[in-house]
Structure 1
Amino acid sequence: MSESAVPPATVAAGRAWLSWLTPLSPFALIAVIAVVEVATPDWLRLGPVLASASVFAAAICGLGVTAAVAATTIGVNAVLDLVDSRWGSSASQIINIALLTVGLASLLACSIRQRRERELTQVRSVAETAQRTLIRPLPARLDCLLLQGTYMAAESEARIGGDFYEVLHTPHGVRLLIGDVRGKGLPAVDASAALLGAFREAAHHEPNLANVAHWLEGSARRNIRRLYGEEFTERFATALLVEIPEGPVARLVQCGHPQPLAIRDGTVQGCESAEPGPPIGFAELVEAGPSVETIPFRGGDRLLLFTDGVIEARDAAGRFYPLPERMTRWSYDPLDQLVDHVRADLRRHVGGDLDDDAALLAIERLPPGS
């Protein structure tokens, strides 16, 4: 998957600085409080404020640093009391007991935080493994095709969702699938896995691309019955299937999915189907099945496949993301840079996280002999 280009040296330097600054921050806070305590009148006691350093350490540091910070707060308060001749007074003892209590509570909080962080790391590891199973990394080149893809989750911390794509080398040419399951959460992930599994099997066995769509329909119906216990619900998926044989053409089957963009000699044009099929899961509601459309796809041509999370992303003024316009601007860029441009520009357009998952798949046919 293509990611936004960030220099590895910059990332490594930032992490190194953070690893040094994080454990020093609570001690710096203690030093600031101590200096202010010395500089202020005797009636203004800042000893209790030292407890904030223990709480701060519990939030960002490990157990060892948190324990050291808690001990330091008690030691610094004792030194300040000795300097001001307050050591042994009832007020001094109360403050020391309070610092000890807050320190112990901070150690407990730090332990709980670290345990939950370990659990979260394990969950993320499982999610990343699931994503690699669902959306496998694309080869940079497959036969005469260059390939680049990216997946953008709606939440910055998310790893998987209802959008999916796949590229397979089959006896019938290179076949591609991109789709979007309606809904979110684990049911959408489950449905995506079922559709991808059906495509990976059918793409190798069915010579007709429309029959591959029928396999997806059957898988969707079985999945709906298994998940929801009924024949029909509002659950469905849009999908676009593409077949690229050896000749200078591409074959498309659209199942309620946004039309792809064809890029030829810097010109961007939508590949609108004359007879688009219904979304996956709705085929039994219409008499006609999906049809195969054939379009020119010569050497140097490009196809851009995407889910509606790309073109329906809105900026602060409610304007949709102008993907065709952007493609005109980047049509001659190398394929990996083009995908990186879209990914970064889409984030800028919405001003942060997307409202919906988005997937993008770019294909370029190399000239003969390349």
Structure 2
Amino acid sequence: MVMGLRRPSAARTAPLPGADPAETTAGDARIGSWALAVWLLLLTVAVVLLDTFTGNDLPLIPLLVVLPALASVFCTVRQTTGVAVWVTLVVVGSRIASTGAFWDVVFLIGFTALASALGVVACAARIRHATEVARLRSAAVALQRQILRPLPIVTRQVCAHGFYEPIEEDRFVGGDIYEVVQSPHGTRVIIGDVQGKGLPAIGTGFAALGAFREAAVREPDLTAVAGAVEDAVVRHNAFSAETGDAERFVTALLLGFDGGDRVRAVNCGHLLPWLLHDGAASAVDLHRTSVPLGIAELGGEARTAEWIDFLPGAALMVFTDGVTEARDATGDFYPFAERLGRWAGRGPDEVLKELQSDLQTFSGGVRRDDVAVLVLERPPAAGGAAPCPDAGTGEPAPQHP
């Protein structure tokens, strides 16, 4: 399954050996210690000077108590403690030198110490919560990566290149899925997107993947494979309803490769595939798109398969809506068709690298959905599962009999 992004801080350092990465990330400062010290000194000098000019009629020194509260939002516990101690010392020093009533001075010093301590406690609570959320995100992404096999995947009929980028923000964790299975009936491929976000989406995606892996080998007909995945999603939804979770559906595209010049396709509400051939890119027009998996009873018609031309030298690109629905800073959608047309004459690995880099640049590194992309082509050697080069290393990819 494929599952915002936190911009790196200038103060971030490499975690110590043995340190918890989630805790290290959550505890990173958003402002450097030197910058904090400069701003703290300037604000203190400004408040003290204003307090001197206004005199006892309008004491401004008490305004410094807001600094530990502000530091607790942006700083580490150590930095917040330093700010709290500094503010307390400044207030104590200024009030001892003043001529105010004794109990007024004691009250102000006590209030400053209490507010400073609360700022430190609030900072520690914020970091503790952020650490728990970071651990949950890390666990969810690790679970997704274990469920999905690494790319490329090679079978006797297909070499599947691609990339998968999960969102690691807790409320945006998604359920993009993909799989390539060698079966007695040829190679079966699925790419899908679970409705909604969060950990429940991962569960639905896992149910769909498990059913596909089993049915792809067992069922001779691709529509029967789609039916098996449909049943699995329906059963998972029934269980989710019993436990109080929302029911979900899965948009998916299933493909069947038998080594010939045509590919069998069953589209369950998913984005259309694109054909890369002779230096051109074009969307494949499927006329028999059915409803997503999990809600077949609402469609009223049985799922049907159709054929896609897959001539020698051609490649099919399939993807999830994290590609087409990516936005830039102005809110415009990613111009997928235009950009893909520029790279259509290149090899699959080059197309994928350009697409991945261009998406990152276009969105400014801020994404709101998972991204899964597969480019499917014939293995280089006809009639055998010749290894395709790994997009990342240039080495032959592992074969899947």
Q: TM-score range by the shorter chain?
A: 0.7 to 0.9
Is 1:57 the equivalent of 2:54?
Answer: no
Is 1:289 the equivalent of 2:279?
Answer: no
Q: CA deviation at 1:160?
A: 2.7
Cα deviation, 1:110-156, whole Å, max 9, x if unaligned, reads: 2322321232123223322332244x253235256251133465x95
1:168-179 paired onto structure 2 within 5 Å: 168-179=181-192
Question: Which residue of the other structure, out of 317, 320, 339, is the alignment partner of 1:307?
Answer: 320
Q: CA deviation at 1:206?
A: 2.7
What letter corresponds to residue 138 of structure 1 in structure 2? P
Is residue 307–residue 360 contact of structure 1 (8 Å, CA) maintained in 2?
yes
Cα deviation, 1:141-200, whole Å, max 9, x if unaligned, reads: 5256251133465x9554532432223344444432112334444554332221111012
What letter corresponds to residue 70 of structure 2 in structure 1? F
1:6 corresponds to: none
Q: CA deviation at 1:102?
A: 0.9
Question: Which residue of the other structure, out of 31, 39, 57, is the alignment partner of 2:41?
Answer: 31
2:145 and 2:80 map into 1 onto residues whose CA distance is 37
Is residue 251–residue 270 contact of structure 2 (8 Å, CA) maintained in 1?
yes
Question: Which residue of the other structure, out of 50, 54, 67, is the alignment partner of 1:43?
Answer: 54
Question: Which residue of the other structure, out of 223, 227, 230, is the alignment partner of 1:217?
Answer: 230
Q: How many residues align?
A: 353
Q: Structure 1 pair 12/362, CA: closer, same or farther in 2 (3 Å)?
A: farther
Q: Structure 1 pair 327/235, CA: closer, same or farther in 2 (3 Å)?
A: same
Question: Which residue of the other structure, out of 338, 352, 362, is the alignment partner of 2:354?
Answer: 338
Cα deviation, 1:251-294, whole Å, max 9, x if unaligned, reads: 32222322200011221122223444443234455454322424
1:70-89 paired onto structure 2 within 5 Å: 70-80=84-94, 85-86=97-98
1:138 corresponds to: 150
Moved more, 312-321 or 92-101: 312-321
Is residue 238–residue 247 contact of structure 2 (8 Å, CA) maintained in 1?
no
What letter corresponds to residue 316 of structure 2 in structure 1? L
Is residue 174–residue 196 contact of structure 2 (8 Å, CA) maintained in 1?
no
Is residue 29–residue 74 contact of structure 2 (8 Å, CA) maintained in 1?
no
Cα deviation, 1:322-363, whole Å, max 9, x if unaligned, reads: 422221022245033133145336636xx9554x66543333
2:81 corresponds to: 67
2:223 and 2:172 map into 1 onto residues whose CA distance is 31
Gaps of 5+ in 2: 15-27, 389-401
Is residue 178–residue 192 contact of structure 2 (8 Å, CA) maintained in 1?
yes
Is 1:226 the equivalent of 2:233?
Answer: no
Partner-residue secondary structure (3-state), 2:54: coil
Is 1:201 the equivalent of 2:217?
Answer: no
Q: CA deviation at 1:19?
A: 5.3
Q: CA deviation at 1:228?
A: 3.6
Moved more, 273-282 or 218-227: 273-282
1:62 and 1:352 map into 2 onto residues whose CA distance is 25
What letter corresponds to residue 96 of structure 1 in structure 2? I
Is residue 59–residue 110 contact of structure 1 (8 Å, CA) maintained in 2?
yes
Is 1:160 the equivalent of 2:173?
Answer: yes
Question: Which residue of the other structure, out of 251, 255, 258, is the alignment partner of 1:242?
Answer: 255
Structure 2 length normalisation: TM-score? 0.72
Partner-residue secondary structure (3-state), 1:43: helix
2:393 corresponds to: none
2:65 and 2:233 map into 1 onto residues whose CA distance is 58
Partner-residue secondary structure (3-state), 1:258: coil
Question: Which residue of the other structure, out of 270, 273, 278, is the alignment partner of 1:260?
Answer: 273
Is residue 2–residue 176 contact of structure 2 (8 Å, CA) maintained in 1?
no
Partner-residue secondary structure (3-state), 2:32: helix
Is 1:324 the equivalent of 2:337?
Answer: yes
Is residue 48–residue 98 contact of structure 1 (8 Å, CA) maintained in 2?
no
Question: Which residue of the other structure, out of 262, 271, 290, is the alignment partner of 2:284?
Answer: 271
Is 1:149 the equivalent of 2:149?
Answer: no
Is residue 260–residue 304 contact of structure 1 (8 Å, CA) maintained in 2?
yes
What letter corresponds to residue 281 of structure 1 in structure 2? G
Cα deviation, 1:33-88, whole Å, max 9, x if unaligned, reads: 33224544443544223223322332233434433332222223344456xx4278
Is residue 255–residue 276 contact of structure 1 (8 Å, CA) maintained in 2?
yes
2:29 and 2:322 map into 1 onto residues whose CA distance is 36
Moved more, 311-320 or 270-279: 311-320
1:114 and 1:141 map into 2 onto residues whose CA distance is 40
2:75 and 2:332 map into 1 onto residues whose CA distance is 43
Q: CA deviation at 1:240?
A: 0.6
Is residue 156–residue 353 contact of structure 1 (8 Å, CA) maintained in 2?
no
1:360 corresponds to: 373
Structure 1 length normalisation: TM-score? 0.77
Moved more, 70-79 or 210-219: 70-79
Q: Structure 1 pair 80/226, CA: closer, same or farther in 2 (3 Å)?
A: closer
2:329 and 2:79 map into 1 onto residues whose CA distance is 43
